[in-house]
Chain A
Amino acid sequence: MAERSFKAEVQHLRKGEGDTFTGEGILAITKALLENGVGYVGGYQGAPISHLMDVLADAQDLLGELGVRFEANANEAAAAAMLAASVHYPIRGAVTFKGPVGVNVASDALANLSSSGVTGGALIILGEDYGEGSSIMQERSHAFAMKSQFWLLDPRPNLPSIVKAVGDGFALSEASNSPVMLMVRIRSCHVTGSFPTRNNQRPKETVREALSNPRSDFARVVLPPMSYVHEQDKVKNRWPAAEKFILDNRLNEMFGNGGKVGIVCQGGMYNGVIRALQRLGLADIHGATQVPIYCLNVTYPLIAKEFLCFAEGKEHILVVEEGQPEFIEQTLATYLYRAESRVRLHGKDILPMAGEYTGAVMLQGLEAFLRKAAPDMLPATVRAPNMDRPAVPDLTKTVPIRPPGFCTGCPERPIFAAMKLVQKDLGKHQISADIGCHLFGSLPPFEIGGATMGFGLGPAANGAFDGGGEKRPISIIGDGGFWHSGLSSSMTNMVYNKSDGVVMVVDNFYTAATGGQDVMSSRAENATKATQHPIAKAMQGVGVEWVRQVDRTYDVPKLRKVLHEALTTDAKGPKVIIASSECMLNKQRREKPLRQQAIKEGRRVEAPRFGVDEDVCTGDHACMRLSGCPSLSLKVLDDPLRDDPVAAIDHTCVGCGNCGEVADAAVLCPSFYRADVVHNPGPVERWWAGVRGRIITWLQARRAARRLEFGA
């Protein structure tokens, strides 16, 4: 089950005509899909659209009532391939994943789909993971639309606009027989607001009905000579149809009019542009602007006619286009050139080529543009700013960076502790990492893994070292990555090439980094999905002979021994260690309420927590360098004899055991102890504990009476 439950929110999806929906952008998109008669939905989780998958999973009752099929696809390629149902059947389909990494994975299917063309509306809802909060390489998904000729929507970031874009997207897709990608940025996915709801629509034809009336047409198959025809069809028919639809339905918007300057922006940039204009005194609270704006809710294709109409009579135009390269600016420049226009086009000459367009960047950029193009428009305070601010001390050297890391009690921490210890014995090894929470292992204090090539590609990224050498290459892969593509791309690659490498499978029962969705090997029962397929069986199935399953990752000495063996055994072929323990975040969410309930009902419960004896701890922090757990921190002692802070464990400790295991495995120190508080002990247990306690107290008092004792 996913980290966040949307069972309560799903009720809002039932709202109908005359109601108002208030909530997050991602939920609004789900509602809009239902209002537009979608016939099947799917996708692959990943920030910022994970919640869309979680909402769909939680809304399966409603989807079933409407005859909508929901598929939790194996990966983005599978999701995009599913849109094939819209090629021949007039069924609307929508899939979601993150961009650009999801589009990378999906691009094969997307290219084929675009070539074939669609009959029913095919919508890809893309969470563009760019800028602050992003967890991936900084690129644009825009190029994929350009290379395959599907259309790209980038609506203004408010709920009514996003909801409208869903309906527009389906209609545009059907009008132009092309897939449409609806792009929402990180903050648009999580932006809150309201929109008036409409009744949900059953699909005109359900996928079940389609199965009863199968269709095919070899003209849609991507094979010569049809593939040549597809290309001509794209350019001669589908593209003009799309342009006509966009113009007729005024998908792009114009704000303000007149004047010699103007701004062209992506829909997603609109609020940022308005805020900058507001701060310059050139727009009011409702967005009424003195600088005309041509807002591109469709960023591909760009409509020359519409743009030239906007440019008419203007001297300077600024293109606000986030990310690089500047595809939109280049195209608009071409349009102006072909039209022999004398309008000066600005963009990346004023705004930065790379990086997020934050409030400060936007304000500086627009101010610089207006200073150049229309200085009289700027208010006096901007033209001659009164710089009289007190100097704030520079804290950049004081404040430590805080990258994401393993949660309290994370079962992956001991895996990396074991790997660090093995490297202390056997020396540094070549280690390739994968995508997932385990990638945090590449950060201090572990610093394990030097590169990551993509989801499920950890072992494949060690391909060049498959031949082996004096030391074996090690690669890491998570259970999420393994099922996403790792089984074929990484494992069969290793087996087939007779790799000598070692693979550490980090199995935490979920795709944990994306919010704890189930995977094939999840231990949980899932009413609608088939879980409990062991990774070890799959490994053996593709011919891995050396497989070791470690079922409690917190057993650092054992993991260390197994890894040591994997690195030194004479066995041929890939050496695979599957280290399995449940994601602590999910485990706590599941078990904590049950435990509290049990305590309340008077049942016996042991609640473990760790502690540190501060007199025994010498403040050397060796444990920190093998942990990094948020609950294991430092404490400054009230003792003039001590220079360095000592280790301390706070009340957030979940008693996972890593501290004690690591102290043992690395022979650190005897400072750690585990305290198990026994709730509701039985009478015999209480009696025996009383006897023990009295003897111990007597011994303690006896010794205390014979020596000096200080302190409370």
Chain B
Amino acid sequence: MTLHEALEPRHTDPALGQIIKLAVLAVGGQGGGVLTGWIEDLARANGYACQATSVAGVAQRTGATVYYIEMCPASDREPVFSLMPAAGDVDIMIAAELMEAGRSIIRGFVTPDRTTLIASTHRALAVSEKMVPGDGIANAAEVLAAAEVAAQRFIAADFDAVAARNGSVISATLFGALAASQSLPFGRAAFEDAIRAGGKGVEPSLRAFAAGFDAALAGVTVAAPSKPVPPPAADAPRGPAALLRDWEALTGRGNALPGAAAEMAKAGLRKVVTFQDIAYGAEYMARLEGIAARDRAPFDLTREAAKYIANAMSYDDVIRVADLKTRGQRFDRIKGEMGVKDPQLLHLTEFMHPRAEEIAGMLPRAMGARVQASPVWMARLDRWFNKGRRIRTDGLFAFGLLYLLGGMKGWRRRTLRHAEEMAHLDQWLARAMGYLDTNYALAVEVIRCRRLIKGYSDTHARGLSKFDRVMEGIALVAARDDAADWARRLREAALQDEEGKALDGALATIRSFA
């Protein structure tokens, strides 16, 4: 193996360094093709040889898609370009969505020695993230941290929001960010010329281009779309003076709660008072004070109780939904979101589907219980009421109906639903407090399990059944030192999938040793 003198290894052709390799990773439908077209036109108009490729096909239906461009100064001989990006060999990576930026890093297209990563920080959630009954949203902070390490330069901003603000789409703002990055040897004017040459929607595109350019330069803080910080101060309510005085007294009691519980109680109070009235708020406060009296530093129990008792007391009954649907604030909010401007009008259609359970729940406690126990009556109620109803809340009849229902708060405390909810709440709190003396952490975890109860009709029933099964599981391990840990695991498992398969698995594990 020594006869290679004729083929002495030479140095790499210096011209190879002139090839600029640019990849675009987008979600199908984002306009990656338009962006690619602009970049191509830009390169060719400025004396570069350029080649673009894409992978079309079904991936363009909302799936992850790749576009790839290579360019170098044109000469009388054609260069040989590659048709696909190679790991470790990409100069500019444009990711039109945050997780796609993550995918480009996984695929090795972003390397610290050469890659400028331009990424939009907005999220287009994948189906797998949306389906989870709990919080299945992928961790954006991890991707942002990895991007800082993997990229030579990292330019990030919410280019989708910037585009929307300027009446255009993300391809234009990303093109602006590319210009601002100065990673291509062309001036800003040349970029704008490419948009003009494209000829479609030139004005909005140019506006969005400029906004994207500025956003990239401003180095917009990489605000991860994660859990926002709660607002610093609760906004003051409006209302009759007498009620405001009562409110002050209640918040005073809330502020007297220990540690972080005070802040949570403020939000909780707002919720229960909105749900019912000041007296109901006082009940909430009394429950909390009872718990705080038995709590100790760092008062996690009181804080969690402040959160979950408020949620439990503000259950989703017909009255609450009707009230929320008829509030003036809601009408204003929707008008704002839909961008309704004079003289445009807004029609509002609600999708309601009452069942016998909801009707029975509205009846007085004893009567409701009898009706609910009678299959004949339930079938009758279903026949009368169980039907999808589309009602126009911008119309007087439907609005009036919901307005009346929403005004039935005086009636609410007598209803079957209220009695059931309160019984469930008392039982749950009693169970948590029962663990308090032997296992503080377990008591806190039991309080947190209230998170499992949510949704309406079947979903609500499934939540209740998961809650019950988690409670059973907890009872099995209550005597163990790591009971709190198991309780947390059971709750998290219950939030993973709809049918509760993960929960069944976790329960089976517990039964194997308990």
Contacts and interface: CB of A to CB of B under 8 A. Distances in A.
A141 to B, nearest CB: 16
A402 B267 CA distance: 37
Interface string A655-675: 000001001111111101111
B513 interface: no
Given A359-B86, A708-B244, A404 B77 contact: no
A374 B1 contact: yes
A interface SS class: loop
Nearest to A444: B127
Given A360-B108, A651-B164, A681-B343, A279 B63 contact: no
B135 to A, nearest CB: 5
Interface in A503-542: 513
Given A359-B87, A616-B324, A678 B347 contact: yes
15 contacts: A192-B53, A359-B89, A375-B1, A378-B9, A392-B146, A399-B99, A621-B131, A621-B133, A622-B458, A634-B125, A677-B344, A678-B345, A681-B345, A700-B327, A708-B237
B194 interface: no
B131 A624 contact: yes
A283 B79 CA distance: 11
A437 B61 contact: yes
A609 B349 CA distance: 11
Q: Chain B interface residue count: which class?
A: 35 or more
A203 interface: no
A669 B459 contact: yes
B282 to A, nearest CB: 13
Interface stretch (B390-398, B419-427, B475-483): B390-398
B145 to A, nearest CB: 7
Contacts of B135: 643-645
Contacts of A706: 239-240
A285 interface: yes
A606 interface: yes
A326 B472 CA distance: 59
A498 interface: no
A359 B84 contact: yes
Interface residues of A, number: 140
B235 to A, nearest CB: 6
Given A278-B13, A404-B63, A187 B324 contact: no
Contacts of A191: 51-53, 83
Interface stretch (A61-69, A238-246, A268-276, A470-478): A268-276
A281 B10 contact: yes
Given A644-B134, A711-B235, A681 B59 contact: no
Contacts of B353: 663-664, 667, 670
B340 interface: yes
A284 interface: yes
A392 B274 contact: no
A357 B374 CA distance: 69
Interface in B92-134: 99-100, 102-103, 105-106, 108, 110-113, 123-134
Given A158-B78, A395-B143, A644-B495, 17 more contacts: A258-B7, A285-B19, A359-B85, A392-B146, A401-B126, A404-B63, A407-B61, A443-B127, A609-B338, A620-B133, A633-B125, A641-B310, A644-B133, A664-B353, A670-B350, A707-B243, A708-B273
B86 A363 contact: yes
Contacts of B86: 275, 279, 358-360, 362-363
B55 A190 contact: yes
Contacts of B321: 616, 670
Contacts of B63: 402-405
B349 A673 contact: yes
A229 B261 CA distance: 94
B306 to A, nearest CB: 9
A578 to B, nearest CB: 23
A379 interface: yes
A133 interface: yes
B334 interface: yes
Interface string B226-249: 111011001101111001100100
A385 B78 CA distance: 31
Interface in A373-402: 374-379, 389-393, 395-396, 398-402
Interface stretch (B64-72, B434-442, B501-509): B64-72
A193 B355 CA distance: 63
A286 B351 contact: no
Given A133-B65, A363-B86, A399-B103, A624 B130 contact: yes
Interface stretch (A114-122, A145-153, A543-551, A685-693): A685-693
Interface in A340-390: 358-360, 362-363, 374-379, 389-390
B295 interface: no
Contacts of B79: 285-287
Interface stretch (B177-185, B209-217, B448-456): B448-456
Interface in B123-175: 123-135, 137-139, 142-143, 145-146, 149-150, 164
Interface string B6-41: 111111110110110000000111000000000010
Most-contacted residue by chain B among A392, A437, A706 (CB, 10 A): A392
A618 B450 CA distance: 13
Contacts of A643: 134-135, 451
A591 interface: no
A444 B128 contact: yes
Given A404-B61, A685-B345, A285 B133 contact: no
Contacts of A625: 131, 498
B456 A132 contact: no
A697 interface: yes
A440 interface: yes
B3 A47 contact: no
A404 B396 contact: no
A299 B28 CA distance: 34
Interface string A133-158: 11100000000000000000000011
Q: Which 3 A-B pairs have the closest CB atoms?
A: A359-B86, A133-B55, A47-B57
A419 to B, nearest CB: 16
A640 B267 contact: yes
B13 A285 contact: yes
A616 B271 CA distance: 13
A618 B316 contact: yes
A613 B316 CA distance: 13
Interface string B337-376: 1111001111111111101000000000000000000000
